[in-house]
Amino acid sequence: MTRVMNVAMIGGGFMGKAHAMAYASMPMFFWPAPAIPHRKIVVDVTDAAAEAARERFGFEEASSDWRAVVERPDIDVVDICTPNNVHAEIAIAAAKAGKHIICEKPLARTIEEARAMAQAVREAGVIHMVAFNYRRTPAVALAKRYIEEGRVGRILNFRGTYLQDWSADPDGPLSWRFQKRIAGSGTTGDIATHVVDLAHYLVGPIAEVNSMVHTYVKTRPIQQGGVDKLGASEKSATAERGEVDVDDEVISMLRFENGAVGSLEASRNAWGRNNFITFEIHGTEGSIHFNYERRDELQVMFRNDPADARGFRTIYTGPAHPYGEGLWPIPALGIGYSETKIVECRDFFAAIAQNKLPSPNFEDGLRTEYVADALLRSGETGHWERVEGAAGTERQWTRAQA
């Protein structure tokens, strides 16, 4: 009989919506499921907010006291969907209570917090995952398969972008994402870390960076009410304004430990770009290109293609490709953001069932934080900066299992 596991979800906002939907849907897509996630209790900042999230997202109970919830013996999994400033406190408490943990990205605000979180889960022996869900897109996993099969040969370079425009308007509200004390950093932690995770997943560890970091909008209207509003909502040119003390854009050259080179660009101020996550990888035997806004497609070209067919061609992902057994029966029928969360949920519960760490886990999240720290340091110094944990420093970067 499939095991039922009680989930306590901390945070009932946008990410809570995505996670709750995945818990409800995962067994419908992947059956037999590795476990049945039971939406036991949702926690939010007030009793009223928690009760609203309970009713909306289908949880059995609601609470505003996460500390009491993570100590409950009937809770198996703690899901952290909060702003970044409480990730470490909740995760460390949940680990000490023996709970398996999935935490939204970035893992933490700082290297010190991420280290403490990684140490806590190691000592507790619990299963842990950081929710970089874009690597669960079937086309991305297919790119990984081609690379592991040697289809592109030795990787020469990687170019990755994550461009959005939701904060391009200076009259968008002062979300917590623009406040260092809560977010830790701006674009670097919020979206550039997704590019870093894809680079680590597909190419290998980043060893050194040389970046430029900019803040374009120095102040924003202070938002009213307790619900966080992203920059694209409820604009105001007349409200009192507060300081923005995080970065809007980061651009960097990259050096990988395996000798590959590359670049990274992330901005939340790119008019016309909605969720523009792309990568292009060139190797000695071929090339791969991916654009998340066309997420069912992978563009490939291999050196041994016939001369009269040279150039990129489109592969539409479907049943023959990664995760195809649980998604839709026809190629190009279409997947969305929600399916990447469903796949993430399946892989997390499969890891619990197998007592085997998934990837990306908290160690992977810590390594990503090392890169984010180097990006910000390089933005200040204007120099190439080594990534802590890279070969040649005091730590060694060991690739986690795929």
In a shared domain, residues 146 and 125: no
pLDDT of residue 396: 40
Looking at residues 353-357, what average pLDDT do you find?
A: 97
How does residue 392 score in pLDDT terms, banded at 50, 70 and 90? low
- 45 within some domain: yes
What was the pLDDT predicted at 233? 62
Instruction: Among 112-116, 155-159, 275-279, 306-310, name the one with the lowest average pLDDT.
Output: 306-310
pLDDT at 150 over 90: yes
Mean pLDDT of 208-231: 87
Give the separation between CA 33 and CA 54, rounded to whole angstroms: 24
Let me know if residue 264 belongs to a domain. yes
Query: Does residue 363 belong to any structural domain of this protein?
Result: no
Q: Write out pLDDT tens, residues 248-290.
A: 999 999 999 999 999 999 999 999 999 999 999 999 999 999 9
pLDDT of residue 49: 97
pLDDT of 402 over the 60 cut:
no
The reply to whether 193 and 336 lie within a common domain is yes
Tell me: pLDDT of 375 over 70: yes
The answer on 119 and 166 residing in a single domain is no
Residue 123: CA count within 13 A, CB half-sphere: 13
Which pLDDT belongs to residue 102? 98
Last residue of a domain, one of 110, 133, 156: 133
Looking at residue 38, the DSSP 8-state letter turns out to be E
Share of the chain above pLDDT 90, in %: 91
Percent of the chain at pLDDT exceeding 70: 95
Q: Are residues 82 and 149 in the same domain?
A: no
> Is 379 inside any structural domain?
no
Q: Are residues 283 and 140 in the same domain?
A: yes
How high is the pLDDT of residue 394? 40
> Does the pLDDT of residue 401 top 60, yes or no?
no
User: Two tokens at 262?
Assistant: 């590359």
In a domain, 126, yes or no: yes
Same structural domain, 83 and 163 = no
231 has pLDDT over 70: no
Same-domain status, 175 and 291: yes
Mean pLDDT of the region 18-34: 98
Do 114 and 153 lie in one domain? The reply is no
Q: Which CATH number belongs to the domain containing residue 332 in this structure?
A: 3.30.360.10
Q: Domain range for residue 76?
A: 4-133
Domains of the chain: total: 2
Indicate left, alpha or beta for 141 from its phi (over 0: left) and psi (-120 to 50: alpha).
alpha
* Whether this model's pTM surpasses 0.85: yes
Q: What is the mean pLDDT of the chain?
A: 94
Is a pLDDT exceeding 50 seen at residue 294? yes
Question: Do 125 and 139 reside in the same domain of the chain?
Answer: no
Which pLDDT belongs to residue 344? 98
Residue 127 falls within a domain, yes or no? yes
Q: Which pLDDT belongs to residue 390?
A: 78
CA distance 183 to 189: 8
pLDDT for position 393: 46
pLDDT in tens, 42-75: 999 999 999 999 999 999 999 999 999 999 999 9
